[in-house]
Structure 1
Amino acid sequence: MELPLLVGVDGSEAGMRATDWAADEAVLRGVPLRLVHASLWEHYEGTSLAQDLAEPAEQVMAEDIVRAAARRARTRHPDLEVSAEVLPEEPESALVREGQYTSLLVLGNRGRSGLAELLLGSVGLTVAAYAPCPVVVLRGSHDNQAVPGTRGRVVVGVGDAPQETAAVRFAYEEARRRAVPLEAVRAWRCPVREAVREPEDGVQSAEEKAAETLQAALADAPEDLKVHPRTVEGPAHRVLLGASYDADLLVVGSRRSPGALGLQLGRVTHAVLHHAACPVVVVPQPV
């Protein structure tokens, strides 16, 4: 049985836009759509208030949020199988746990906190860092739809791994689903010592190493997919942010070390989650 696609909703406009995008993506993948709103209403309303009223006010609001999102998804795609659920717990822990039972988890760029839209909130960062499934954060102007893409390409950032990674494999499938080319980008920088002693040789060596890494990562690319490898000089986060302006989707990997503390998101992933000009997919990569 195909795992459903999960979208976190919170009643914000960004959350509703995420519902639109997720509904399109679920249709594209041929899987059900599951809507989840997580809230700690029961801890704040208290049991005494719950006994006095038929339903606590926050519970009513939570149920209204998921009903509105489900209605929106069904209106957009009448034949799509849609389910909705309210979970009385912290959104970070709820979404990370539910990620075990979903093929893809979709989040809006920001919630109802009023934070500047340029920055991703703590829920998005935590879920992207710990969810066991790929997580999409809807950055940029995606016109509320997964397809058809307006820029006609998927971009994947290729890191230091000498072989194909989970992020590269995910990017293959997304490009094929959208019937668009895949652009694989590898950033490189000339080592300072080489640049000082032998500028030309140092640059050539660094660029050649980047090209070799990129070639190895794409060795098993599907024959029916157009793949455009590209090496670019510069810091990786700036290179990928630049590429995001011409992409419908930017795919990056995130290494996961079992038992490690901290968010486990590198500087490059942090940068694209905060500032990319298109939706970003973070794909977990076991170390």
Structure 2
Amino acid sequence: MSTPLVVGTDGSDDALRAVDWAAAEAALRGCPLHVLHASLWESYANSALPGARNPQARRDAAAQDVVAGAEERVRLRRPAVTVSAVVREEDPVYALVDASDHAAMVVVGSRGHGLAGMVLGSVSLTVAARAHCPVIVVRPGRASDEAGGQWVVLGLAEPGRTPAAADFAFAEAALHGYGVTVVHAAVHAGLSAERHARREQAVEDWLDESLARSVALHPDVPVRRVVVPGRAHPALLGAAKGAELLVLGARRRSNPLGPQLGPVNHAMLHQAPCTVAIVPVQPTGG
């Protein structure tokens, strides 16, 4: 059996959007979908109600209702998808990161609040930082199977990294019939005209090298390049408007509390106007 997709759910509207996205993706890939619900909060909440009748049974029933509802939603919308579900009474971050060891991708919803859902939930952000496979954070907006921009945006930051993010972006574009917009922000301030021209050529050569394998694997995928001066943050936000998916390689930083995402990835997960994919990458060489 092919490697499953894993989707985390708690029954919220954000989580159901993630279930829908994951089901559509599983249908295209022809792979199974595994629905996971994990929570410790219900245990803590019920322990504060000493008079509650059979709180463990109530907690278990509520959790089963969450996954049963998600399973039924998948079967109704994507009947060809093989779907299974599990309830785990543990921290959802640990459960999802553990599941990422044997998943093609982990799909989660954003937990927006405040101004237009700009603030991401801690579970989604932490899973994106720690998972061992690509993580999809489904943000509110256009449905995955609705006609729209027809482009996957790929942010390429620097040389010296594996092509995992590029491979993922091109594979997704080929699967859905989209094109790929490659975005690179380059700072050329203060350079002479001659040095500026050399720097631009070096960037183009690097992009050729970085994309060569992905283009060869998916020669029918349309590609357009956007090389802009300045910071990556505004360049990516601009390119992602109307896009179906924004793909970024994970730039994880060592931290006593666990891996942390770099500032650009962190900002895009909070602010991007479309769904975001974080793809783990490793430096090449020493």
Q: TM-score range by the shorter chain?
A: 0.7 to 0.9
Aligned partner of 1:268 in structure 2 is 264
Pairwise CA distance, 1:258: 8.0
**Superposition CA RMSD, Å:** 2.5
**Structure 2 residue aligned with 1:234, among 216, 230, 237?**
230
2:171 maps to what in 1? 173
- TM-score, length-scaled by structure 2: 0.88
SS in 2 for 1:190: coil
Residue aligned with 1:286, SS: coil
Contact 1:15 1:108 in 2 (8 A): yes
Name the aligned partner's letter for residue 134 of structure 1: P
Would the alpha carbon gap of residues 184 and 164 (structure 1) be closer, same or farther in structure 2, given more than 3 Å must change?
farther
Secondary structure of 2:99's counterpart equals: helix
1:277 equivalent in alignment to 2:270: no
Give the Cα–Cα distance (whole angstroms) in 1 for the partners of residues 94 and 55 of structure 2.
28
Amino acid at match of 1:19: V
Task: After superposition, give the CA deviation of every residue in 1:123-173 in whole Å (9 maximum; x if it has no partner).
Answer: 111100000010000124122x2x355111111111212565100011111
Paired-residue identity, %: 39
Match of 1:211 in 2: 204
Gaps of 5+ in 1: none
Which runs of no fewer than 5 residues in structure 2 stay unpaired?
none
Alignment map for 1:220-231 (pairs within 5 Å): 220=213, 221-222=215-216, 223-231=219-227
Distance 1:10 1:52 in 2: 23
**Structure 2 residue aligned with 1:121:** 121
8 A Cα contact 1:149 1:248, kept in partner: no
What residue identity is the alignment partner of 2:131? A
For residues 269 and 257 of structure 1, what CA distance do their matches in structure 2 show?
12
Q: 1:234 deviation in Å?
A: 2.0
Give the CA deviation at 1:89: 0.2
Q: Do 1:237 and 1:267's aligned partners in 2 also have CA atoms closer than 8 Å? A: no
In structure 2, the residue corresponding to 1:56 is in which secondary structure? helix
* Whole-angstrom CA distance in 1 between matches of 2:212 and 2:79: 41
Q: CA 1:26/1:188 → structure 2, altered by over 3 Å: closer, same or farther? A: same
Paired letter, 1:190: H
1:24 maps to 24
What is the Cα deviation at residue 209 of structure 1?
Answer: 3.0
Query: SS in structure 1 opposite 2:279?
Result: strand
Q: CA shift at 1:184, angstroms?
A: 1.3
Residue identity matched to 2:22: A
Q: 1:17 offset after TM fit, Å? A: 1.2
TM-score relative to the length of structure 1: 0.88
Q: Is 1:7 aligned with 2:3?
A: no
**Structure 2 Cα separation of the partners of residues 175 and 212 of structure 1:** 23
Q: Is the 8 A contact 1:164 1:216 kept in 2?
A: no
